[in-house]
Chains A and B, each alone.
Chain A
Amino acid sequence: EDQVTQSPEALRLQEGESSSLNCSYTVSGLRGLFWYRQDPGKGPEFLFTLYSAGEEKEKERLKATLTKKESFLHITAPKPEDSATYLCAVQRRYGGSQGNLIFGKGTKLSVKP
Chain B
Amino acid sequence: DGGITQSPKYLFRKEGQNVTLSCEQNLNHDAMYWYRQDPGQGLRLIYYSQIVNDFQKGDIAEGYSVSREKKESFPLTVTSAQKNPTAFYLCASSPARDRAGYTFGSGTRLTVV
Collect the chain B residues with CB atoms within 8 Å of residue A36's CB.
104
A44→B48 CA distance, assembly (Å) = 17
A/B pair count, beta carbons within 8 Å: 60
Contacts known (A99-B31, A100-B33); A49 close to B50, Cβ less than 8 A: no
- Decide if A42 touches B106 in the complex (CB within 8 Å): yes
- Say whether chain B's binding surface is mostly helix, strand, loop, or mixed: strand
How many A residues face the partner with a CB closer than 8 A?
A: 24
- Decide if B109 touches A101 in the complex (CB within 8 Å): no
Collect the chain A residues with CB atoms within 8 Å of residue B2's CB.
none
Complex A-B: 26 CB contacts under 8 Å:
A31-B98, A31-B99, A34-B101, A41-B107, A41-B109, A42-B107, A43-B4, A43-B6, A45-B104, A87-B42, A87-B43, A89-B43, A89-B101, A97-B48, A99-B31, A99-B50, A99-B94, A99-B97, A99-B98, A99-B100, A100-B33, A100-B45, A100-B48, A101-B102, A104-B42, A106-B42
Chain A contacts to B: CB under 8 angstroms: 31-32, 34, 36, 41-46, 49, 51, 87, 89, 91, 97-101, 103-106
